[in-house]
């Protein structure tokens, strides 16, 4: 679950770079063709980063990733997974610069494939067909198609440039130099539309040796053919020796490889083995809710999982059943950035402070506890919760010792402050009155019920979205 912390932290700065503006056709391609493959959340990340670049500019200013978390209302784990989807499908390139212990990311947004490139890609079109089914796929294809107005009866009569314009005396070299971008800058363009980038794992040397034995020259494997072979190998899991048979079956009369025939042969071979099914696109990185992990058993384990799974905004909502104020969120952002806390640690701190301070986010108290946790090098919600338990145990012991020492002179009971359930210990703590115990138990049940209801509502909303 925490793999993203090795790659990206909320306090890490980022900026966005684009090659040019996205036109209406590209927006349709991203929304209708790419979104079914990467999901609405990844598309939202792409469009949000694109919106951060002002009109007429090619890059944005810097901001911490915590800004993206607030804008999208999601965890850093979700942002990291959506970033991987954008990278894998060819819509994003990521660069990182390290300066001491800090990191700065540069996200370069890439344009999508043109409709004709997408529907002939050989990889994305197959995944989309498998994802949405034949009727919807054909409907989408028709949306990007139109009648060809140029019939064979038309003959081109276009005039060339020299037929229309003449040249005079001019300093061409000076014009060329002045047309070049200044050092450290670039001119807006539509960018290079490359689509998904596949790792060079296919063994072309083995394929070339096999074709050579069949008297097929290696020159027949042009760059376009090699890219097609790589995609087919990835798509259908075809090793080099099996690919040789498919290549031989797709040769035309001129001993050239027919790409359409090669794709057809690979598809037929896969469907024969799989019972007519097409391959599906499955993310290698599983989200926390889908990852095969052991379910928490104790209340403390459930709380730790909850702290690591939600945003600080959602944690406040779960505790108080009300949205936090802008002042509260500003305080949380300040503490997270100042002490470089993860959302999990921040969530544990929020619950500790709110239940310790009568459901208030006291700036002085939160800053005091945050400074202590930073000195203790708290990096996870579990470490924060364990430290809070240890502190409370020590406070309870001091209160118990003080009570024993004063029993000879005064019988005044020592008031014990109310604490969250996960900092309570059954042993070595002073007895409370029955009313205090009932009040503490009531508050604990109300808190658990609020968190449980929130989780059930979110799961129901997710289920409705999938259906």
Tens of pLDDT along 383-412? 888 888 887 777 777 777 776 666 655 555
The larger pLDDT score, comparing residue 415 to residue 138, is at 138
List all residues 6 or more positions away from 221 whose beta carbon is below 8 Å from its beta carbon.
204, 207, 208, 211, 229, 257
Which tokens is 424 given? 């309570």
Structure tokens at 283: 């993310």
Terminal C-alpha separation, the chain? 26
* Whole-angstrom distance, CA of residue 327 vs CA of residue 344: 20
Domain extents in the chain: 4-114, 204-274, 299-466
The angle at the Cα of 422, spanning 417 to 426, to the nearest 5 degrees, equals 75
Query: What's the gap between Cα 197 and its chain centre?
Result: 18
Looking at the structure, give the CATH architecture of the domain made up of residues 4-114. Answer: Orthogonal Bundle (1.10)
* DSSP one-letter code for 34: I
- Tell me the pairing of strands 13-18 and 63-64: antiparallel
Distance CA 217, CA 256 (A): 10
Phi, psi of 99 (to 5 degrees): -130, 100
The whole-angstrom separation of Cα 38 and Cα 30 is 10
Which pLDDT score is estimated for 31? 93
The band of 7, judged by pLDDT with boundaries at 50, 70 and 90, is confident
Top pLDDT among 444 and 97 is at 97
Of the ranges 173-187, 317-331, 374-388, which is most confident? 374-388
274 pLDDT exceeds 80? Answer: no
What H or E segment, with its residue span, contains residue 347? helix 343-356
Q: What percent of the chain has pLDDT over 70?
A: 75
Best CA proximity match to 352, nearest among 390, 325, 295: 390
SS3 (DSSP) at 91 = coil
pTM metric for this prediction: 0.55
CA distance 33 to 26: 10
Cα–Cα distance, 91 to 84 (Å, whole number):
10
**H or E element: which one contains 94?**
strand 92-99
- Cα–Cα distance, 229 to 123 (Å, whole number): 11
User: Looking at the chain, how many residues does it have?
Assistant: 467
For residues 402 and 386, what is the distance between their CA atoms, to the nearest angstrom? Answer: 24
pLDDT at residue 3 greater than cutoff 60: no
Residue with more model confidence, 166 or 27: 27
Tokens 């990889």 found at: 123
Q: Is a pLDDT exceeding 70 seen at residue 56?
A: yes
- Rounded Cα distance between 377 and 371, Å, is 10
User: pLDDT: is 83 or 173 the higher one?
Assistant: 83
**Res. 11: pLDDT tops 90:** no
Q: Rounded to an integer, what distance in angstroms lies between the CA atom of residue 127 and that of residue 89? A: 11
Q: Determine which of 10-19, 145-154, 226-235, 272-281 has the lowest per-residue pLDDT on average.
A: 272-281
Query: Which of 23-32, 67-76, 286-295 is least confident?
Result: 286-295
Is pLDDT above 90 for 15?
Answer: yes
Q: What are phi and psi of 353, to 5 degrees?
A: -70, -40
Query: Residue 14: is its pLDDT beyond 80?
Result: yes
pLDDT-derived band at 327 (thresholds 50, 70, 90) equals confident
Residue, of 149 and 110, whose pLDDT is higher: 110
Q: Looking at residue 2, what is its pLDDT?
A: 46
User: How does the average pLDDT of the chain come out, rounded?
Assistant: 77
Query: 430, 399 in Cβ contact below 8 A?
Result: yes
DSSP 396: H
Pick the most confident of 178-182, 206-210, 288-292, 428-432. Answer: 206-210
What per-residue confidence (pLDDT) applies to 290?
A: 45
What is the pLDDT at residue 357? 80
* Tens-digit pLDDT profile for residues 225-257: 877 777 777 767 778 778 878 888 888 777 778
The band of 288, judged by pLDDT with boundaries at 50, 70 and 90, is very low
């Amino acid at each position: 679950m925490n793999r993203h912390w090795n790659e990206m932290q909320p306090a890490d700065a980022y900026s966005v770079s684009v090659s040019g503006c996205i036109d209406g056709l590209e927006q349709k391609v991203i929304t209708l063709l790419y979104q079914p493959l990467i999901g609405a959340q990844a598309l939202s990340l792409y469009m949000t980063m694109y919106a951060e670049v002002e009109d007429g500019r090619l890059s944005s200013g810097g901001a911490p990733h915590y800004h993206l978390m607030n804008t999208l209302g999601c965890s850093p784990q979700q942002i990291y997974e959506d970033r991987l989807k954008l990278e894998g499908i060819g819509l994003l390139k990521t660069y990182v610069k390290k300066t001491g212990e800090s990191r700065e990311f540069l996200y370069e947004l890439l344009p999508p494939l043109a409709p004709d490139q997408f529907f002939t890609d050989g990889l994305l079109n197959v995944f989309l067909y498998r994802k949405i089914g034949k009727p919807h796929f054909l409907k989408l294809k028709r949306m990007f198609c139109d009648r060809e107005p140029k019939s064979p009866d038309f003959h081109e009569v276009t005039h060339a440039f020299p037929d229309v314009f003449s040249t005079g005396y001019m300093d061409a070299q000076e014009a060329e130099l002045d047309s070049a971008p200044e050092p450290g800058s670039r001119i807006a363009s539509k960018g290079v539309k490359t689509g998904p980038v596949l790792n060079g794992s296919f063994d072309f040397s083995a394929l070339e040796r096999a074709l050579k034995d069949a008297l097929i020259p290696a020159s027949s494997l042009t760059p376009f053919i090699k890219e097609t072979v790589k995609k087919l190998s990835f798509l259908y899991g075809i090793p080099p020796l099996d690919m040789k048979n498919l290549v031989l079956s797709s040769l035309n009369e001129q001993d050239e490889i027919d790409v359409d025939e090669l794709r057809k042969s690979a598809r037929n071979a896969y469907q024969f083995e799989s019972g007519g099914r097409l391959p599906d696109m499955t993310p290698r990185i599983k989200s926390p809710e889908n990852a095969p992990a052991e379910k928490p058993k104790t209340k403390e384990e459930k709380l730790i999982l909850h702290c690591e799974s939600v945003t600080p905004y959602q944690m406040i909502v779960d505790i108080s059943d009300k949205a936090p104020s802008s002042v509260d969120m500003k305080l949380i952002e300040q503490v997270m950035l100042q002490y470089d806390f993860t959302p999990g640690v921040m969530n544990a701190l929020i619950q500790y402070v709110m239940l310790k301070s009568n459901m208030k986010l006291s700036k002085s108290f939160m800053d005091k506890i945050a400074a202590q946790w930073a000195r203790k090098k708290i990096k996870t919600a579990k470490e924060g919760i364990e430290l809070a338990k240890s502190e409370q145990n020590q406070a309870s012991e001091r209160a118990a010792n003080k009570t024993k020492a004063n029993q000879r002179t005064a019988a005044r009971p020592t008031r014990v402050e109310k604490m969250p359930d996960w900092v309570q210990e059954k042993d070595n703590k002073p007895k409370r009155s029955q009313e205090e115990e009932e009040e503490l138990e009531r508050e604990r049940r109300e808190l658990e019920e609020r968190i449980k209801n929130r989780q059930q509502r979110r799961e129901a909303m997710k289920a409705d979205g999938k259906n």
